Structures are given as structure tokens and as C-alpha cells.
A and B are shown apart, each in its own frame.
Chain A
């Protein structure tokens, strides 16, 4: 049995209302499944309260409290949704309700998403609506206990920021938001954050494509373990680490890593391992980089590109600008489409800065709040996609049945202009 504080026991017993009792019941079942000894206090929750998923549509007819009870608390009893007790933000959602064509394609899911936002927003869920809350103001500090969903955000939170979260789910973040509690297990415990494998980078790892390839390769290799990297020839930026982490959390379940001298919990290799012995050493050379590219692109046959998707995880402002510069003065092919995805807060900056206008003038689109893997919305008749995201290339074929090319940003923009993917293996 998990040890509960007096306050936690009172919540479980219903002294603080039915919703908190159901939330504590879920947290206790979950904590015991994990083998956790206790809960820990958290002041930062990132989860999803979205009702736009097609599967939830019918369920939402019973009302938002029913959705919350079932999907955010795993409660059979319908309870009234209380106010969030801590900073809580909504992750990526099903559609971009600002886009007329997406609204039309999504049908009543659009209205449902808006209704859900209005309902849960008023109850304290900040509608950031992005897979990258750390790009729009939710930046936890080192050591902060968080309860985050979204594998690409979790690995960023742990690896890059040094805050502490496990990969939570919809039900556990729902419960955490109204109780300020999450099981003290896994990455909340300092000893569990030390490195397990040494990875020697022995080739050029330069742009986001290369960092994506490194991440996709290492995730497959170490699965849930904690790689420690040496040999990076330059200091990676936010966007490179974002793409790296998203890839490593797709091919495997990597939630934590160290790049000594770059990430905050490792001054050097010795501190990264913290006395733990490396299970194995692996080398990422030119051959591994090439083989990973080939693996990601193995399912793509036709070079005719119907759709180019950029912005998984959601693009930063400099990435939106980069796309604008690459496409300026050119036109997206009539046989293709170019969609760029970014958080709504960043799109406002892109609008003000003129980047959106450039992309739209070329025939591209800038969308917010969602992505094709979540919304399942793509240009009509799409058979073959090109993307700069290893994560999207991993998931999109499985979810939607399309073929998908993975390449660099410039290769993808060129594909949108010519209608042909001409990217080459590194």
C-alpha cells in the first residue's frame, strides 16, 4: 500500500468533494501498479481535456462532466469538474478551429472542440493547445516536479530543462491537476535520472534532419534507457533538441538523456552516469545515420508529393521564418500542398512579422492547435507526404495509411514547389 499524507487520505475519503475522491482513487491504483511508495506534490500539469477526437464525439453528448469523469479520472461515476488546483495546460488538439477548410472537414468536431475549450478553460486549463508548452511560456525550472503528457515534451522537460516528469497519461494528468499529486516514481527520483548507455557521435550531426535521425536511431537502440552523448561537434539549439527528443520518444520510449556540457544535469560524462556503469557503448557514424534515413523512408515508393507537412513538434518562430525565407517568391505546386504547424501564440508573432503572409502568398498554409497525425486531416486525396519530422514520418503511415518521406526542411519545401521529393540519404 502507498503511504498517503493526512490531506491525501482526506481527499481520497471524499472530504474535498467527489471529483478529488475519484482522482485520488485513480492515483492510488496507478501508484500501486507502478510500485510507488508515495505521491509527490506537483505544481505543473500538461495534459489533454480535448473532446475533438472522433471517438469521443458520441461520448461528449452526455456532457463535459461525463467526458472529464471517464477520460480524465477513469471514474464510472459522473462527477462535477472542479477548478484546477495548479498550473495546468492543454496540449495539442484535434483541429485548428480558426481555419475554415479544416472546420468544414472536421464537421461538428470543431464545435465540440470549442465547447470543450470554453468549459475546461473556465475551470483552469490554460488553452496553449500545443505539443510544445515550453515554447509558449510553460518552462518549468530545474528539479521541478511536473506531470506532463506528450512524449516529445516529456523528454524535453527532463533532458533539456532538468525538471522531473514521467510520461503521464490523460487520466493521471486529469487527476494531478485537481489534486496537485502524482506518483513519486521513475524520473521524480534523482537516482533514476543517471545515464545508462554511452553514445559516441562520430559523424556530422548538423541540422534538424540529422538530430532527428540520431534520435530515431538511439530510441530504437536503448528503448526506455538513458543515453549519454559525446562527440557532438556543435551546441544543439532548442529546435534540434526538440526534433531529436521527439524522434527518440517515437522509435523507443526515451524520456531522459544527457549531453554533457549542454544539458543541465551533466557537466561531464562522469556526472551524467553518477557512478552508474554504462551498460554498453554505441557509435553513431555515417553508416548508422544513412541506415536510419533508409529505415524511415523504407515505406515511401512514389516521389510524387501531394502534401508537405512541417512543424512536428510545433514549429518555433525561427522555424516559421525559415520556411518563409525558403518559399519566398516561389509557388507551391498545384499538385501539392504545404502546411506549417505552430502554436497559436507563435502564429500571432508570425502574422505580425509578415512570415504568414509570405507562406500564404506562395500557396502554403500556417495552422495552429493540431497536426495531421492528431487531426487525421490532410489535403484531399493525399497518398504521399514529405515531412522534416522523424516523429510524423513514424506515425503518419500507421495512422492514416499514407506513404511518407523524411527529409531536410529545404528538401521538403522544394518538394512542395516541384511536387517531387528529391531528398537524398545523408
Chain B
């Protein structure tokens, strides 16, 4: 992690290439695809999820990883086709669900960061994800 002015930079590795930026939506709960999200709106629908009712559409989704059904990639794929996909993904735990899901969402994605993004990034922070470089730049909310 480096601090340049008011910018925090995390370094990790590419999952999906490309560059995107947006407001962060952060959860410490793992996310289900099928049965966990509404692909038409990007809203989390899982009953006891802390993001229930909130949409990741056009947000930088920061989350621990994927759980649940193998429909994960299909539902994020559908979200992309509905225009409800996140702008980028930042996550901690690599699984086949989240890897394939990120690939078919085709949004820049990084993992294996040098600090826990769930601790560094808060909902509302402005985040720039460079998938090719494997970096995440964070401008804290109010710091901009």
C-alpha cells in the first residue's frame, strides 16, 4: 500500500483487465449469484445479507468473495446484459464462482491485494480499479 497525497493505492493481481472507476459499495458478507441478486436491477436479495435491497449497478463492488449456487456467473452475466453490472470488482477470496463470474461480467477485477480492501475501502469512497496493473486507487469519501 502506498499513500500519495490523499490517495491510497493497493497492489494485487489482475483477474479481469481494463480500467474503471466509481463509488465503492462495500460488504463483509460473501455474495450469492443465483438466489442472491436480482440480475435486472443489480440488487442484493439474500434474506439476511447486509446489502439486502442495495444495488451494485455502476458501483465498484468490494466484497470478500462468492458463495452459494453455481449459477453465480450466469446471474452476473445476466446483470451485464441488463446493464446492471458493477463497474469493477475487488475481492479477497478466489474461487471458481467469482473468477468465472468476473470474467463474464467483463468488468475490471483485482484480488490478492497487499492490504485487506474491506478494511481500507468504505462504501461511498471513490475507487479506481486498474485490472491490467492489478491496482486499486482509493480516494476516501470527503477527501475529494
Contact = CB atoms under 8 A, between A and B. Distances in A.
B102 A33 contact: yes
Nearest to B72: A169
B103 A170 contact: no
B contact patch SS: mixed
A26 B96 contact: no
A170 B73 contact: yes
A218 B15 CA distance: 29
Contacts of B73: 169-172
Contacts of B77: 71, 74, 170-171
A33 B15 contact: yes
Interface in B85-107: 93-97, 99-104
Contacts of B35: 373, 394-395, 398-399
A186 B39 CA distance: 27
B100 A30 contact: yes
A interface majority secondary structure = helix
Interface residues of B, number: 37
A398 B95 contact: no
Contacts of B81: 59, 70
B78 A33 contact: no
Given A55-B40, A253-B66, A399-B45, A172 B100 contact: yes
A170 B96 contact: no
Given A71-B74, A171-B73, A397 B47 contact: yes
A171 B81 CA distance: 14
Nearest to A295: B48
A249 interface: yes
Given A30-B100, A168-B100, A171-B77, A35 B70 contact: no
B21 interface: no
A154 B97 CA distance: 12
Contacts of A170: 71, 73-74, 77
A70 B15 CA distance: 21
Nearest to A173: B70
A185 interface: yes
A2 interface: no
Contacts of B67: 223-224, 252-253
Contacts of A249: 68-69
Contacts of B93: 223-224
A265 interface: no
A149 B70 contact: yes
B117 interface: no
Contacts of A30: 99-100, 103
Given A33-B15, A167-B95, A186-B96, A253 B68 contact: yes
Interface string A57-95: 001000000000011001000000000000000000000
Contacts of B78: 55
Contact of B101 (A32, A71, A169, A399): A169
A167 B97 contact: yes
A33 B46 contact: no
Interface in A144-203: 148-151, 154, 166-172, 183, 185-186
Nearest to A35: B94
Contacts of A149: 70-71
A116 B97 CA distance: 25
B96 A151 contact: no
B103 A33 contact: yes
Nearest to A401: B45
B30 interface: yes
A94 to B, nearest CB: 12
A48 B35 CA distance: 17
B36 A398 contact: yes
A106 to B, nearest CB: 19
Interface in B51-78: 65-74, 77-78
B13 interface: yes
Nearest to A91: B70
Contacts of A154: 70
Which of B14, B16, B99 is the most central at the interface, judged by chain A CB atoms within 10 Å of its CB?
Answer: B99
A65 B133 CA distance: 36
A205 to B, nearest CB: 23
Interface of A: 26, 29-30, 32-35, 48, 55, 59, 70-71, 74, 148-151, 154, 166-172, 183, 185-186, 223-224, 249-250, 252-253, 299, 373, 394-395, 397-399
Given A55-B40, A167-B72, A398-B36, 10 more contacts: A30-B103, A33-B102, A55-B78, A150-B70, A151-B68, A167-B70, A169-B104, A299-B47, A398-B35, A399-B35
12 contacts: A26-B103, A29-B103, A32-B14, A74-B103, A167-B72, A171-B73, A171-B74, A171-B77, A171-B100, A185-B96, A373-B35, A395-B69
